[in-house]
Structure 1
Amino acid sequence: MAKVKTSYICQACGAFSTKWQGQCPDCFEWNTLVETLIQSTSITSKVGYAGVQTRVQKLSEVSLAEYPRIGSPFSEFDRVMGGGIVPGSVTLIGGDPGIGKSSILLQIMTVLSLQYNALYVTGEESLEQVALRAKRMQLPSDKLLMMSQTNVELICQYIEQNRPQLVVIDSIQTMQIESLQSAPGGVAQVRESASLLTQTAKRTNTAVFLVGHVTKSGEVAGPRVLEHIVDAVIFIEGQADGRYRMVRAMKNRFGAVNELGVFAMTDKGMREVKNPSAIFLNRADDDISGSVIISIWEGTRPILAEVQALVNENGYGQPRRLAVGLDPNRLAMLLAVLQRHLAVQLADFDVFINVVGGIKVNETSIDLAIIAVILSSLYSKPIAKDWIILGEVGLSGEIRPVPYGQERLHEAQKHGFKHAIVPMSNAPKKEVEIKVTAIKKLKELKDLLV
């Protein structure tokens, strides 16, 4: 009898090891190495990955014919997908439990099933549970095909024989391949199941959506290689007890990365918000200190949001620094710049920063606005509610330009803003309706506000 070969695979990063160890040598996580049989579940064939005969050809000879995209019922979802659903693509949908992954996919599939051959595969819920949810959300359920199955080989066999145009796998962590001995949700099962489904999608030109759970750190459960297999990775962000959901593209081979779509969760499912800036601009009627409007760039469009600051004297020893919606390290750096170049001492003050609405900002264009709201709260000097501030702050105190400055000003002008403080390099070359004050140094900002 041939000796059974095994290997140990890290559940966190997918690294291989020949023996068990308490700590993964690659990602340094503890107790994540799991014994797995070394087997190959790939389907051997004379055709290539996409189902065509493999041959060498010049790049100029490759056909540039594009498949028509399938438009979903939500224009915000199509924006995140890069213009619609691409036939033959594989998209991973991730998010926290209860965030709305299954709901939005069920809404999309029930509507698209009226025009296309669509299949919804559920491995977590029974068919009755899905039907009850569709009834509660008042969705058309006459045409959508349903399957309760966790065997990936049987699912791929059905796809090969019936050629549906759209397939949802809910979820990839429940899928399994019988030839593997590991439990569903393990590294080997998730990787091999996703690989087999991707090969089938390419051969049959079927658009496949994979629902993926996330870990406590916010990453898709299973190996990171899963994100490299698929064509697009879509994350649904937001608080489970909140109303709004942010659908963000983290990877997209068919569109812009970091594109953002905004939805509102209701008892009838997801409802798209076509003007996201409006929901983030619900401010008080009076001018208040420690609040200003920012313009952030998400994918291909600007979105206006509000950032607030509270600077409060600390009488209990160690001052607190808390940032919600932005990088805390960025806040610490800006506080050091304030102390060095404006002689603003905050060692005895707590500093709290919040981006209103639950949106997360990853760009540096809000540096100037953060410093502005800190000064406004510290000196109790309100910033006019029709002002908008944008700009990046360097370590030497200079105000650096931000990309898409003209587009951001145009968006602010559409929402009725009258005055904008921008870096000198972002000053408009021709006259605009909004008043623009261009500055070079932080001291100029302090003179304007204090």
Structure 2
Amino acid sequence: MKRAPPLVPVLLQPAARRARSPLPRPSRAPPPPISQIGTDSVQRLHTGFGEFDRILGGGIVPGSVILIAGEPGIGKSTLLLETAGHIAREPERKVLYISGEESQAQVRMRAQRVNAVEDRLMLASTTDLATVLALIEQERPSLAIVDSAQTIVSQDVDGISGGSTQVREVASALIDTAKSINVPVLLVGHVTKDGSIAGPRTLEHLVDVVCQFEGEPQTALRLLRAVKNRFGPTDEVGCFDMSGEGIEEVTDPAGLFLSAGETDVDGTCVTFTLDGHRSLAVEIQALVTNSVLPTPRRAVNGVDSNRLAMLVAVLYRHGGIALLNNDLYVSTIAGGKAREPSCDLAIVAALASASLSRAVPRTTCAIGEISLTGQVRPVPRLEYRLREAARLGFTVAVVPPMKKAPDIQGLTVVQTASLSEALRALGLSPRS
């Protein structure tokens, strides 16, 4: 008598192979016009973070695959675990969190720390692709989170975990499953030493959305950028604050990059940069000392060193302030970035203020690019920056020439065409 074949558990069936089954024969019905295809039934899933939703274009689109990449320890898993907790709190929402890096007990400990322990948040710990796909197909959650793409391994292809072949296979299988059963997937991705996403370049082409989670290890500020988005803008940035209790969104980051206090201080000047559609106030600080070295020292933080060298030469040639033989230290506050050309005027103002021991009033800001000829050149979306300056209480703004100066209540706009004019407007002329 023949024995019956042994039963194979559902969770261990080779779901990846089922996804590669031959495609059905195409239908004879003609494709409908695009004008007759409706989108009213598409309801985005809100993450519980307003900043995250704004980056994604209003929320998570059903059936989409979103790649979240960032350096180790930056907070990717914490952000997604808190997102899972927010969604699992909603009625009739179920979230599946699959970790290939941590055990279930480890994820449970982190979820307890960030207050993400919910009955409808299910945890699984596996590195097998077939098991991952089977879990998603079986549970049909409102959201599936896979942490991470480099730790999941397919038994159908050769290659080590995290290799190009494995990452491509994992991403393709997850995309097929997400589209076929209309379940959105948040996929964590590692980065290499140079900051690019690990794995083949096709990984970024396959997924629908690519977000970069950035931040300095020395600060609690985290920035989330969408570098690719099929369902929304790619020039948005979200601000988050990392703490021991998890991640909190920062809806108004205006004061993050400004120092506290109301007293005017030598060697400081405030400018406004653009990060996506958001204007951020950045305070630049400079320290000028006499050098005892054959080659004067130049130390920068948040400022491009090559740009600083050019501005020092322009300040000497067209501003009459010689700093070529001094040690210069230029930095921003709280990890802010002042590498936009519009920050040139504020950098020069901070250097001149430190050199002359004259303070720029705290209610004055400087915005403008400086050319090698000493001209103050226009910058994009200047009016948008000026309105943000007025909202934060600035009363004077030194800017490049404008075709039509905006009428902003409480803000005096001083237009200057050259570096010497800008220094006079800021009270930093060496001859005064």
What TM-score bracket applies, with the shorter chain setting the length?
A: 0.7 to 0.9
- Structure 2 match to 1:375: 352
Distance 1:52 1:125, change over 3 A: farther
The 2-side partners of 1:441 and 1:425 are apart by 13
1:399-418 paired onto structure 2 within 5 Å: 399-418=376-395
The 2-side partners of 1:288 and 1:446 are apart by 17
Matching residue within 66, 73, 91 for 2:48: 73
The 2-side partners of 1:425 and 1:53 are apart by 61
- Structure 1 unmatched ranges of 5 or more: 1-39
- Structure 2 match to 1:273: 250
The 1-side partners of 2:409 and 2:253 are apart by 24
- Structure 1 match to 2:315: 338
Shift of residue 62, structure 1, vs aligned partner: 5.3
Q: How many residues align?
A: 409
* SS of alignment partner, residue 432 of structure 1: coil
Shift of residue 175, structure 1, vs aligned partner: 0.9
Matching residue within 20, 23, 43 for 1:43: 20
Shift of residue 163, structure 1, vs aligned partner: 2.5
The 1-side partners of 2:79 and 2:62 are apart by 19
Normalised by the length of structure 1, the TM-score is 0.83
Shift of residue 44, structure 1, vs aligned partner: 4.9
- Structure 2 match to 1:118: 95
Deviations 1:90-113 (A, max 9, x none): 222122222211111111101202
- Structure 2 match to 1:94: 69
Query: Does 2:251 correspond to 1:282?
Result: no
The 1-side partners of 2:338 and 2:327 are apart by 22
Shift of residue 385, structure 1, vs aligned partner: 0.6
The 2-side partners of 1:235 and 1:284 are apart by 33
Deviations 1:188-240 (A, max 9, x none): 11122122212222222222111122222222222333222222222222233
- The answer to whether the 8 A contact 2:147-2:187 is kept is yes
Query: Does 2:409 correspond to 1:438?
Result: no
Normalised by the length of structure 2, the TM-score is 0.87
Deviations 1:363-403 (A, max 9, x none): 32212111111211222221101111111223332222222
Matching residue within 193, 210, 214 for 1:216: 193
- The answer to whether the 8 A contact 1:400-1:425 is kept is no
Shift of residue 186, structure 1, vs aligned partner: 1.3
Matching residue within 274, 281, 300 for 1:304: 281
- The answer to whether the 8 A contact 1:246-1:359 is kept is no
Distance 1:353 1:66, change over 3 A: farther
The 2-side partners of 1:370 and 1:240 are apart by 25
Matching residue within 115, 120, 144 for 1:138: 115
The 2-side partners of 1:390 and 1:52 are apart by 60
- Structure 2 match to 1:315: 292
Larger Rg: 2
The 2-side partners of 1:223 and 1:447 are apart by 54
Query: Does 2:162 correspond to 1:196?
Result: no
Query: Does 2:345 correspond to 1:365?
Result: no
Distance 1:431 1:286, change over 3 A: closer
Shift of residue 55, structure 1, vs aligned partner: 6.9
* SS of alignment partner, residue 103 of structure 1: helix
- The answer to whether the 8 A contact 1:96-1:218 is kept is yes
- The answer to whether the 8 A contact 1:413-1:434 is kept is yes
Distance 1:336 1:59, change over 3 A: farther
Shift of residue 135, structure 1, vs aligned partner: 1.6
The 1-side partners of 2:167 and 2:312 are apart by 44
The 1-side partners of 2:269 and 2:171 are apart by 45
Matching residue within 364, 367, 370 for 1:390: 367
* SS of alignment partner, residue 402 of structure 2: helix
Shift of residue 440, structure 1, vs aligned partner: 1.1
- The answer to whether the 8 A contact 2:150-2:189 is kept is yes
- Structure 1 match to 2:12: none
Shift of residue 54, structure 1, vs aligned partner: 11
RMSD, aligned α-carbons? 2.7
The 1-side partners of 2:297 and 2:28 are apart by 63
- The answer to whether the 8 A contact 1:406-1:426 is kept is no
Q: Percent identity?
A: 40
* SS of alignment partner, residue 172 of structure 1: coil
Distance 1:152 1:421, change over 3 A: same
